[in-house]
Chain A
């Protein structure tokens, strides 16, 4: 058991964490590259830069668009995101691990705050999951990964809370710790290749969407060729 925990803490953690970091850098580069290429090929190069920029800012702090329409959902979602980002990065236990292994440390959350935020994040993820399952509109729009992600994100928070606060037998503690690490590593490895990659490409999405309406020059001929209707009006 201890060997397996050491393996999860050592090579497996390095692998999954680096896959996440490099994968996110990759998806960011690919996105920018694709956007630049699309812009070069676009027939109409007049882009609404300003409105796209404003929209990006608005969606990064989604007060205007969402709060007005679905206030409860937006509030839960915002709290969920805050917990998701702040707790793993600024938890004292995590920072200590970084300090002992790599030698760097940063500001940490007070113990109580971390506990409250963890509980809040768990509650928010359950609420979001229920909201998605109960609303008919959401249900029709949802894919499997939309249900799986909140559950997967909930796991390390729940197990982490148990490790930090509940007194359990040592073997049980090891099991919970293992679940904590393994679930986090599963998140790391799938993060850059699924919808969670929005954590880096989100600022670009408005520009990409604006670009998507600018068709490449002479695309009509290609479409006509595909439909085998060359020379006719499509």
Chain B
């Protein structure tokens, strides 16, 4: 009893700390508590919670398929465990995804806004559908406690097979599509983990480790609640899982060998060592402990096999979805708050699991000794015969106390400096340099675009073509530069200078020159710019915006160039490459800027955009 209470107290402490960090993240944004950046926007929550969580939840569909589809009814007492594990695994994965993404009120968007080209579109649909299936599979268990909705309960139990088959179908899609997602990262993921077989590997390993997770849950419950283990049945389940593990191991090793990566495995780098550790944990140890008959049916053997298999699985998914993705040169080390949230979500899932074990009839069989029931705690102290209160009351008092204190502690340790971000930097866009070839580099970080201005004039046929791009000009000007109105690099600018117009040192005009007397002095009721400045829009202007707010310099440049380029790419099949980013962002600089740039690079703090420095150096060497 005391062991259970200590265990739960630790879990509640972590949940409290995580709740504080999570609320701070939701209120103040990712920057307040995480070390994620534009270079590593993919944090620890994906690598530790989402991807491994989904994989460990695979027990739900594997075990139910073994029981109901393959008709191995001797395992039927573990079906509720498996479904509960899958349900909690998916909920915790979805929760951590929501914490990572933010804006939880937009979570229904993939249902309405379809993007069938996206791998994540399939993933999100699978999560939504499978969560629904799992809910329907699990809900008869809590309904068993009440007499409400007994019709619904009977209906769901009667048509359980349909739900099981649906679960298998959706899980097959989902487990493999998680692997598919990492097919997008051939140049980011380390070669030992990247493989075109990733979808198949993800699915097979999930099928193998899923039952091991169910066995581990049964082991934990029986050790916490003093329940007798049925080692023969657990061993048999382990044997099935071992068979799949052998298949998984073969696929993995043959894939490594066939793609010529065997030498990488033994090159002694830290990645290779982690790879070997992963293989030992996920393949070698579980296969040995489940293959030897004596070890398979022993409690210690089951513990070692399941723990090592589950750890190996987490390590594998964490490697693919995080550790081995870091190739950008920026080291990402998660903050303590990110770790709190990560561990806290797992702790909350374990607490939910224990809650269900204590309150619902998860075991198909009755307790042999009623005193061993989790709820059957003494209501009276055995020696003094003092009434101790209902056991639930005692638990409630202790756990809420621990939760409250750790929640407050969690808020207290978050430094107030982290809470206030500076927001978007106020960067004034600088004008493009050059003459025939303009170098567009608004924030002067030396990562810009060489724009063939003269060439574009030639291509647009002559000097009359200015208005195609110069859609609006300053008063008494023919072709004002972009930065004249799009003054801010990343934010909108108000181009109308009211104070300057009204000031005696500026335009020095009276209020009633623009505002109609007697009406409220608002922009909407005042004169338009073009009422006085007749030459704002050039003749044949393509765009005639009537707004005082200009979009940011970055958006203006992209809008101007990409619109035209995309049209050309569509109409002319030989110009498809025009619409791609590298068509303009070539990285090569005009020769007259290279000298200038070498000096600038020596000054620290210039880069707003993170681009690997090596490219720039390479470019410089070629220039020399």
Which residues on A are within 8 Å of B, measured CB to CB?
A: 10-12, 14-16, 18-19, 21-23, 25-26, 29-30, 33-34, 37, 101, 193, 222, 226-227
Nearest CB in chain A: distance from B393 CB, A? 7
Q: Which residues of A contact B404 (CB under 8 A)?
A: 19, 22-23, 25-26
Shortest Cβ distance from A102 into chain B, in angstroms?
Answer: 10
Interface centre among A22, A25, A227 (most CB of B within 10 A): A22
Is A12 within 8 A of B412, CB to CB? yes
CA distance A227 to B416 in the complex (A): 58
Contact A30 B397 (CB under 8 A): yes
Q: Which of these binds chain A: B147-155, B379-387, B467-475, B513-521?
A: B379-387
Among A11, A30, A37, A222, point to the contact of B400 (Cβ < 8 A): A30
Task: State the CA gap A127–B380 with chains docked (Å).
Answer: 44
User: What is the 8 Å Cβ interface bit string for chain B, positions 406-426, against chain A (1 contact, 0 not)?
Assistant: 011101110010000000000
Can you list 23 residue pairs at the A/B interface with Cβ under 8 Å? A10-B416, A11-B413, A12-B412, A14-B408, A14-B412, A15-B409, A15-B411, A18-B407, A18-B408, A18-B411, A18-B412, A19-B404, A19-B408, A21-B408, A23-B405, A26-B400, A26-B404, A29-B400, A30-B396, A30-B397, A30-B400, A34-B393, A101-B416
Contacts of B409 in A (CB 8 A): 15
Q: Which of A33, A101, A222 contacts B396 (CB 8 A)?
A: A33
Given contacts A23-B404, A30-B396, contact A222 B379 (CB under 8 A): yes
A29–B397 Cα distance when bound, in Å, is 11
Give the 10 A-B residue pairs with the shortest CB-CB distance, closest first: A15-B412, A18-B408, A14-B412, A22-B404, A19-B408, A11-B412, A26-B404, A26-B400, A18-B411, A226-B380
B393 and A226 contact, CB distance less than 8 A: no
Asked if B570 CB lies within 8 Å of chain A CBs, one says no
* A101 cross-chain contacts in B, Cβ below 8 A: 416
Question: Is there a chain A Cβ closer than 8 Å to B401's Cβ?
Answer: yes
Within 8 A of A (CB), among B28-58: none
Q: Which residues of A contact B412 (CB under 8 A)?
A: 11-12, 14-15, 18
Contacts of B380 in A (CB 8 A): 226
Q: Which residue on chain A has the smallest CB distance to residue B401?
A: A26
- Bound complex: CA A14 to CA B405 (Å): 12
Tell me whether chain A's interface is mostly helix, strand or loop, or mixed.
Answer: helix
Expressed in whole angstroms, the minimum distance between the Cβ of A201 and any Cβ of chain B is 14
Contacts of A10 in B (CB 8 A): 416
Selected from A15, A33, A226, A227, the residue in CB contact (under 8 A) with B408 is A15
Residues in B with CB closer than 8 Å to A19 are 404-405, 408
CB-defined contacts of A22 to chain B, threshold 8 Å: 404, 407-408
Q: Given the complex, which residues of A lie within 8 Å of B400, measured CB to CB?
A: 26, 29-30
Number of B residues near A (Cβ < 8 Å) is: 18
**Complex-state Cα separation, A22 to B405, whole angstroms:** 8
Task: Give the docked Cα–Cα distance between A86 and B380 (Å).
Answer: 45
A62–B603 Cα distance when bound, in Å, is: 73
Chain A residue numbers with a CB within 8 Å of B411 are 14-15, 18
A30 to chain B, nearest CB (A): 6
Contacts A22-B407, A34-B393 given; indicate if A226 touches B413 (C-beta within 8 A): no
Bound CA span A198–B416, Å: 32
Q: Mask for B552-581, Cβ within 8 A of A = 1, else 0?
A: 000000000000000000000000000000
What's the Cα separation between A157 and B411 when bound, in Å? 27
User: B227 to nearest A CB, angstroms?
Assistant: 26
**Contact partners of B405 in chain A: CB under 8 A:** 19, 23
Q: Could you tell me if B407 and A226 are in contact, using CB atoms closer than 8 angstroms? A: no
Chain A residues within 8 Å of B416, by CB: 10, 101
CA separation between A11 and B415, bound complex, in Å? Answer: 8
Contacts of A16 in B (CB 8 A): 408
In the assembled complex, the CB of B412 is this many whole angstroms from the nearest CB of chain A, namely 4
Closest CB of chain A to B578's CB: distance in Å?
50
Task: Return chain B residues, CB-CB under 8 Å to A21.
Answer: 408
A18, B393: Cα distance in complex, Å: 24
| A22 and B400 alpha carbons, distance in the complex (Å) | 10
Inter-chain CA distance A61–B38, complex, in Å, is 59
Determine the chain B residues whose CB is within 8 A of the CB of A15 once the complex forms: 408-409, 411-412
Q: How far is the CB of B166 from chain A (nearest CB, A)?
A: 38
Assuming the contacts A12-B412, A19-B405, asked whether A226 and B385 have C-beta atoms less than 8 A apart, the reply is yes
A34 to B396, CA, bound (A): 10
Q: How far is the CA of A34 from the CA of B397 in the complex (A)?
A: 10
Given A18-B408, A23-B401, 9 other A-B residues pairs in contact with their CB atoms under 8 A: A10-B416, A11-B413, A14-B411, A15-B411, A18-B412, A23-B405, A26-B404, A29-B400, A37-B393
Nearest-Cβ distance from residue A32 to partner chain B, whole angstroms? 12
Contact A226–B387 (Cβ < 8 Å)? yes
Give the shortest distance, in Å, between A97 (CB) and chain B (any CB). Answer: 13
- Cα–Cα distance between A16 and B412 once the two chains are bound (Å): 9
Complex-state Cα separation, A26 to B385, whole angstroms: 29
Least Cβ–Cβ distance between A199 and chain B, in angstroms:
16
Write the chain A residue with the least CB distance to B16: A22
Which of chain B's residues have a CB closer than 8 A to the CB of A11? 412-413
> A residues within 8 A CB of B385?
226-227
| Distance to closest chain A CB from B185 (angstroms) | 40
Distance of A81 Cα from B408 Cα, bound (Å): 27
Within the assembled complex, what's the spacing in Å between the Cα atoms of A22 and B412?
A: 13
Residues in A neighbouring B379, C-beta threshold 8 A: 222
For the complex, give the distance between the alpha carbons of A63 and B408 in Å: 38
Q: Once bound together, how far apart are the Cα atoms of A101 and B400, in whole Å?
A: 29
CA distance A25 to B403 in the complex (A): 12
| Assembly CA distance A109 to B309 (angstroms) | 65
